[in-house]
Amino acid sequence: MAAATDTQLGDFHALSREIVRSVETVIDGKREAVELALTTVLAEGHLLIEDVPGVGKTMLARALARSIDCTVNRIQFTPDLLPSDITGVSVFNQGERVFEFKPGPVFANIVIGDEINRASPKTQSALLESMEEGQVSVDGTTYPLARPFTVVATQNPVEMEGTYPLPEAQRDRFMVRISMGYPDDAAELAMLQTRELSSPLDALTPVVSLEQLTGMIAMVRGIFVSQAVEQYAVSIAQDTRRDRELRLGASPRATLHLVRAAKARAALDGREFVLPDDIDALAVPVLGHRLIAAARVAGAGSAFQSNSVADIIHRIVAATPVPLGAGDRA
Amino acid sequence: MRAPERRRDRLDHRRAWRVSVALLFCLSISAAALHTVLQGFGWWFQITGIVFAVLAAAGITRALGARSQGTRSPGRRAWLPTLVASAVLVTLITVFFASRSAFLFVIPTFESFAVFGDLAQAGSLAIANQAVPADVTLGISFLLAVGAGSLAILADLLAVTWRRPALAAIPIAVLLGIPTFVGIQLADVFVFVLSAVAWLVLLRAGEPFPQTSRAVGIGAVSVVVALLVPLALPTVDESTASGDAFGGYLASVNPVLSLGDELRRELPRTILTYSTLSDQPTYLRLVSLQNFLAETWEPDPPTIDRDNTPAAVGPPPGLEADIPVENETTWVDVNNLGSPWLPVPYPATDVSGLRGNWFWDADDLTFTSPDRVARGEEYRVSSLLVQPTPAQLDVANSTLPNPDDNYLDLPADLPGIIRSTAQRVTSSATSNYGRAVALQEYFRDGTFDYSETAPADFGYDSNGMKAIAQFLEAKSGYCIHFSSAMAIMARTLGIPSRVAVGFLPGEKQAETVEGRTSYRVTTQDVHAWPELYFDGIGWTRFEPTPGRGFVPTYADEATPGVPVPPVTTPTATPTPTPEPTNSATAAPIDPNDPAANSSTAAVSLGWLWTGLSLLGVILLLLLPAFIRGIQRALRLRRLARGFPAAQTGWKEVLQSMHDLGVDISPTATPREAAAAIADSARLGETDRVGLDSLRALVERQSFSRRRAESGLAHGAVPGGADDRVSDILDRVRRAFGWRRRIVAALAPRSIWSRLSLSRAD
């Protein structure tokens, strides 16, 4: 694919600013989370938002979906949800005497999976398989999913009641995990005042068309990743596999996701090439939910492990030398 | 080329010339500091000439290079002027010092370098063998030319090529430091001040060059270091002069050991002058050695009796009233003698005019001082000229002055040849006096050669008994052998004896001092002679050394009773040695020569040598700074060439930060590093612009698809990439204190941690 021109990059930048601004009318003071969410969408990844209830996980997902003019479906995961409630079912059409496929909610550009860890593992897998493959197979027939396709799943922390924690193999399919965190004083106050009158979500109108979004995604794919930066990402991934404080290191898919997300971040920053800084910034969001700390580190009673895992990632990133690529080495 | 650039070029060239002229000014002025350690003025013209030639060569090369090139490129061919200047220096040295061995008189051959080596060696020897102010021999002249030329090249490199005129203070400080190193009293404050003024002129001349306070700081520090380092080092002043000071041999535990070295000096130096009304000059005695150990003779350990002041000198031991004596008076002016013994005629009866505390010893009437050396003393000595008649001598017995004395002690294993020779030579004599004269005659009758080099060449250059046995076989030696041999042989015959060390009467001078005959005593006159004891007469001097000194009338067998004309300076010695050892061949030096008579205190052997070592140490200490400077210059040159490598500039910035003591993680991304730099240097928005644009270029070059197009020179800031990097460095450095900056420049950390840095790449 040809390199993005500066004009295209400019357009990209403007559009992405629009999306962020739009989402921020709903989710105040969470610039980082919003940008990470957008990064994931642009990198064709799936987003896992993990936090305690009521901090706006779903709100973020919906605001993002609304800002883009595309099909959006929302699935509320419950323990009794069945796989076919997601993928859809083949129904016998008595009139025409044929089985007819009724597509499930997964057939949309953006699928919001609320409280994904409240569903049974069987149902979770149904969604996660379609996430990975971009298609759904029902009764021997394969139905392709919409393009672009992004799942924005929210989940409560695993220790909460009535949850089925996602197995690591399935967590690995999410490109980025973010946590919202509580809003600060000002944001919470502002929320109180606006929320009473009307839902700000209703006021949201799409700022980007599906076509534009497809173009943006294509542009992200065209962002240049130098060999040096690829090497840097690989070095970090390799180091997580060797690290003694980690029981499970990053998968090759994690490396792939890391570089893809970095491309999106570079594009959002108005650059046509990826910097090691992009990798650095995304290391924790991309790798954090995939790595498992060794038992002695995991202790500490922290809710997510992520504190310690994040620390380990920071340490690894800081210790990995940044190659300055081609050029003289004097 | 655009007009403004051309104008800037012209300015650059004019400035470079101005700085070159100022450098010549500075270096020639600071070279004048050597006037306290070198004689004459010729060397100054030589140094200035060499410096001029070197600077001119560099300047002309620079000008020609700029013209032929036609493009603005301060970094390009930056080394060419230095190379040409070095070549010119080598050529000049070849022409002046080794043209015969050179190809076409100009191009040095291998043989020329051998000549250089010899010259350097001769120069260091000449330095080591001379007291200050030293004669500029060919060897010293060679060393001066090489040293001055190298300093000029260094100065040109620092001030013009690297555009840091302030750093020229380093070579200036080296020049100023040489005399200071020899002795702080040799530092000429006037020259220091003049040099400082010249340096300020240099700074002014190089004004448009960036005069970072760092460079100025280094300059100031160099000058201070030039003053202080010599003080911190063990310099040679009077208190420690005894060991190696010229003339100081007599202060060592064994004064004899270095006596030969003194005699073998290439150039005689004046030790003292004296004048007397007597028609006969006098031997001046410093000390007597009476302890004959098997290996050498030693004086008694100095014992100081505070009652023995020079005002009342005790009677000569053993001298009785019936012996005829004459009273002599001698006025002595000691120029240059680092000895704790005073040169006086024997036996002295009164010494006046001394500045220091001197005390005499009752046994041998030597004068010692607990706290001074003889240098600088001017005094009047009254002494006796003892003239016993041969008849008195003939009847005199030889018993020990005191029964406890060791004047007859001999080692048990004395080689047989000494005893048997003594017996054989004296077999016909009937009295102790007769035996003594026979011994003296044995040595003087022509069978023995006077040679200062033969003993050293054949390994018996000492006065121990084994060396004396060898000497008796080889029949060649100098005063220490003759005096020791005669003294030992006298002891085997039962005559108490000791060896006196001091000076021959020296050379008579044309000028008289207040009507008195004046004599000059040089290093060539260092001497040792035996003294034998006769009852009723006391200690009596003999002169067994052929061709040296004169035989006392009482001991002259040939014409007993007839006064012998004083042979002060034998013009024809019967020695076969071709060495110009005697004062006859010594360069005639005017005794009133300001250098010879200057009040400048004598300093050490090897003063210039140590100065050069100091230079070496300084250069060694500056080596890391030098390497770092070369590295920086090379990088800036590559940048100036427009080499599309922002990393080069970036690395320079990072390394400079490291030098400044700011630790930037080697794993930091360019952005993180830039943030850390801006943070630690507290850069404002405007100061950051250059840094950030460089950082962006580094990123672009390292990580973007279009890195080939993104040379540094295409940035937003006008000017060459090297200037931009220099600008960034200047802005960054400003945030740090001068101490950090000086440390960064003089002791760059990055040189040592290069390995870790390159590992981080």
Instruction: Residue window 241-280, chain A: list those with CB within 8 Å of chain B.
Output: 271-277, 280
How high is the pLDDT of residue B151? 92
Cβ <8 Å between A320 and B667 = yes
Average pLDDT of B65-86? 69
Closest Cα of chain B to A226: distance in Å?
5
Average pLDDT of A232-236? 93
B760 touches chain A (CB under 8 A): yes
Q: Which of A76-90, A208-222, B40-54, B329-343 has the lowest mean pLDDT?
A: B329-343
B10 touches chain A (CB under 8 A): no
Q: How far apart are CA B384 and CA B319, in angstroms?
A: 11
How high is the pLDDT of residue A262? 94
pLDDT tens digits for range B184-198: 667 777 888 888 888
Q: Do A89 and A190 share a domain, yes or no?
A: yes
How high is the pLDDT of residue B632? 82
In angstroms, how far is the first alpha carbon of chain A from the final one? 34
Q: Do A178 and A268 share a domain, yes or no?
A: no
| pLDDT tier for residue B474 given thresholds of 50, 70 and 90 | confident
Q: Which of A174-178, B67-71, B126-130, B385-389 has the lowest mean pLDDT?
A: B67-71
More confident residue, A138 or B249: A138
| A-B Cβ pairs (cutoff 8 Å, strict) | 83
Which of A272, A322, A329 to substitute to test the interface with B, most B CBs within 10 Å? A322
Report percent pLDDT > 70 for chain B.
75
Cβ <8 Å between A327 and B644 = yes
Distances (CA, A) of B726 to B59, B76, B481, B698: 24, 16, 71, 16
User: The tokens of B21 are what?
Assistant: 């002229």
Chain B's closest residue to A328, CA to CA, is B645
Is the backbone peptide bond immediately before B171 cis, with ω within 30 degrees of 0? no
Q: Do A116 and A168 share a domain, yes or no?
A: yes
Cβ <8 Å between B703 and A280 = no
- Residue A211 included in any domain: no
Cβ <8 Å between B702 and A320 = no
- Residue A4 included in any domain: no
Chain B's closest residue to A3, CA to CA, is B705
Which residues in B lie closer than 8 A to residue A223 (C-beta atoms)?
A: none
How high is the pLDDT of residue B246? 38
For B704, the closest of A273, A323, A329 (CB atoms) is A273
Which residues in A lie closer than 8 A to residue B712 (C-beta atoms)?
A: none
- Residue A156 included in any domain: yes
Q: pTM for this structure?
A: 0.48
Q: What amino acid occupies position B69?
A: Q
Torsions phi, psi for B388 (to 5 deg)? -70, 150
For B651, the closest of A274, A277, A330 (CB atoms) is A330
Strands (E), chain A: 47-50, 68-69, 72-76, 88-93, 98-103, 110-114, 135-138, 141-144, 150-155, 176-178, 208-209, 246-248, 292-293
Q: Do A68 and A152 share a domain, yes or no?
A: yes
B647 touches chain A (CB under 8 A): yes
Q: Do A72 and A166 share a domain, yes or no?
A: yes
What DSSP element (H or E) covers A9?
helix A6-24
How high is the pLDDT of residue B708? 41
Mean pLDDT of chain B: 75
Q: Do A173 and A252 share a domain, yes or no?
A: no
Cβ <8 Å between A273 and B638 = no
| pLDDT tier for residue B153 given thresholds of 50, 70 and 90 | very high
Q: How far apart are CA B455 and CA B471, in angstroms?
A: 8
Closest Cα of chain B to A59: distance in Å?
34
How high is the pLDDT of residue B148? 92
- Residue A236 included in any domain: yes
- What CATH code is carried by the domain that includes residue A277? 1.10.8.80
Cβ <8 Å between B643 and A328 = yes
Which of B702, B712, B757 to substitute to test the interface with A, most A CBs within 10 Å? B702
What is the extent of the structural domain holding A82? 26-194
Q: Per-residue pLDDT for B570 more than 60?
A: no
Average pLDDT of B580-596? 38
For A3, the closest of B645, B705, B707 (CB atoms) is B705
Tally of structural domains, chain A: 2
Average pLDDT of A133-144? 85
Average pLDDT of B209-233? 58
More confident residue, B723 or B348: B348
**Most confident stretch, A88-92, A265-269, B454-458, B713-717:** A265-269
Cβ <8 Å between A275 and B700 = no
Report percent pLDDT > 70 for chain A.
90
Average pLDDT of B576-600? 38
Which of A6, A259, A324, A329 to substitute to test the interface with B, most B CBs within 10 Å? A324
Torsions phi, psi for B507 (to 5 deg)? -105, 135
pLDDT tens digits for range B730-755: 888 877 877 778 878 777 777 665 43
Which of B636, B694, B703, B757 to substitute to test the interface with A, most A CBs within 10 Å? B703
Q: How far apart are CA B422 and CA B411, in angstroms?
A: 16
Cβ <8 Å between B647 and A318 = no
Distances (CA, A) of A71 to A62, A108, A144: 11, 5, 15
B704 touches chain A (CB under 8 A): yes
A328: exposed, middle or buried (C-beta count within 10 Å: 0-12, 13-18, 19+)?
A: middle
Average pLDDT of A121-132? 83
More confident residue, A158 or A246: A246
Tokens 């009677």, residue located: B315
Cβ <8 Å between A273 and B760 = no
- Residue A327 included in any domain: no
Beta-carbon contacts of residue B49 (< 8 Å; ≥ 6 apart):
none
Which residues in B lie closer than 8 A to residue A226 (C-beta atoms)?
A: 702-705
Which residues in A lie closer than 8 A to residue B671 (C-beta atoms)?
A: 275, 277
| pLDDT tier for residue A280 given thresholds of 50, 70 and 90 | very high
Q: Do A190 and A264 share a domain, yes or no?
A: no
Closest Cα of chain A to B657: distance in Å?
16
Closest CA relative to residue B148, chosen from B52, B17, B266:
B52
Average pLDDT of B147-175? 87
B527 touches chain A (CB under 8 A): no
- Residue A209 included in any domain: no
Cβ atoms of B267 and B134 closer than 8 Å: no
Q: Do A114 and A244 share a domain, yes or no?
A: no
How high is the pLDDT of residue B247? 37
Beta-carbon contacts of residue B464 (< 8 Å; ≥ 6 apart):
B293, B294, B295, B296
Cβ atoms of A143 and A137 closer than 8 Å: yes
Beta-carbon contacts of residue B761 (< 8 Å; ≥ 6 apart):
A321, A323, A324, A329
Instruction: Residue window 206-245, chain A: list those with CB within 8 Å of chain B.
Output: 224, 226, 228-229
Q: Do A47 and A124 share a domain, yes or no?
A: yes
pLDDT tens digits for range B276-319: 888 788 888 888 888 887 777 777 766 777 778 887 788 888 88
CA angle B340, B345, B349 (to 5 degrees): 95
pLDDT tens digits for range A316-328: 888 888 877 544 3
Q: How far apart are CA B214 and CA B217, in angstroms?
A: 5
> Hey, where are the domains in chain B?
3-236+607-621, 267-580, 631-760
**How large is the ipTM?**
0.80
Chain B's closest residue to A330, CA to CA, is B648
User: The tokens of B251 are what?
Assistant: 């202060």
pLDDT tens digits for range B485-524: 888 888 888 888 988 888 888 888 878 878 888 888 887 7
Average pLDDT of A39-47? 91
More confident residue, B543 or B511: B543
- What CATH code is carried by the domain that includes residue A93? 3.40.50.300
Cβ <8 Å between B645 and A224 = no
Closest Cα of chain A to B668: distance in Å?
7
Distances (CA, A) of B105 to B92, B93, B100: 10, 11, 6
Q: How far apart are CA B540 and CA B497, in angstroms?
A: 9
- Residue A168 included in any domain: yes
> CA gyration radius for chain A?
20
More confident residue, B127 or A51: A51
Closest Cα of chain A to B751: distance in Å?
13
Q: Do A39 and A180 share a domain, yes or no?
A: yes
Cβ atoms of B16 and B59 closer than 8 Å: yes
User: The tokens of A67 are what?
Assistant: 């800002």
For B667, the closest of A229, A321, A327 (CB atoms) is A321
Q: Do A37 and A181 share a domain, yes or no?
A: yes
pLDDT tens digits for range A158-186: 666 667 778 887 888 899 998 888 888 88
Q: Do A261 and A185 share a domain, yes or no?
A: no
Domain boundary among A194, A212, A234: A194
Cβ <8 Å between A318 and B665 = yes
Closest CA relative to residue B374, chosen from B345, B331, B343, B350:
B343
For B761, the closest of A226, A326, A329 (CB atoms) is A329
pLDDT tens digits for range B692-718: 888 888 888 778 776 444 444 343 334
How high is the pLDDT of residue A165? 77
Q: Per-residue pLDDT for B175 more than 70?
A: yes
Distances (CA, A) of B1 to A116, B8, B71, B77, B638: 69, 11, 7, 19, 20
For B669, the closest of A273, A319, A322 (CB atoms) is A322
Cβ <8 Å between A327 and B707 = yes
B761 touches chain A (CB under 8 A): yes
Average pLDDT of B671-699? 83
pLDDT tens digits for range B224-277: 666 555 555 444 433 333 333 333 333 333 455 566 666 766 667 778 889 888
Mean pLDDT of chain A: 83
How high is the pLDDT of residue B638? 75
Cβ <8 Å between A280 and B669 = yes
How high is the pLDDT of residue B288? 83
Which residues in A lie closer than 8 A to residue B654 (C-beta atoms)?
A: none
- Residue A231 included in any domain: yes
More confident residue, A127 or B638: A127
User: The tokens of B58 are what?
Assistant: 């560099």
Closest CA relative to residue A48, chosen from A136, A111, A91:
A111
Closest Cα of chain B to A126: distance in Å?
40
